[in-house]
Amino acid sequence: QVQLVESGGGLVQPGGSLKLTCAASGFTFSTYHMNWYRQAPGKERELVAIITNRGSTSYADSVKGRFTISRDNAKNTVYLQMNSLKPEDTAVYYCNAYFSTSYWGQGTQVTVSS
């Protein structure tokens, strides 16, 4: 049974940091590209960061220089370190695994507010 379980979301003040974790199981994690998406209220889901199965990374312009995606294949886990958070980063953040098929987590809420 495939599972992607996100954690680490919460309420943080502007300028603060959070680290999201996505624990994967039920598929060969190391072969999959791993992505973080987010969806704010009333907006479409957007791609935030990508890490390929070879470890190459790419970011949306809106988070470049503030967010860092990483993976630990030994732990079947992908991370998203988020620094210098802004109110516009408020969204539900989703973990996605993609290779021959696509899997999604249930999402974790991130709220940036004073």
Report the pLDDT averaged over residues 1-24: 97
Task: Please report which confidence band the pLDDT of residue 66 belongs to, taking 50, 70 and 90 as the band edges.
Answer: very high
Report the pLDDT averaged over residues 63-92: 98
Output the average pLDDT for the chain. 97
Report the pLDDT averaged over residues 88-113: 97
| pLDDT above 70 coverage of the chain, percent | 100
Task: Please report which confidence band the pLDDT of residue 100 belongs to, taking 50, 70 and 90 as the band edges.
Answer: confident
For residue 104, is pLDDT > 90? yes
Report the pLDDT averaged over residues 27-39: 97
The half-sphere exposure of 41 on its side-chain side, counting CA atoms within 13 A, is 5
- Residue 75, CA distances (Å) to 16, 28, 69, 81, 104 in order: 27, 12, 15, 17, 18
pLDDT at 20: 98
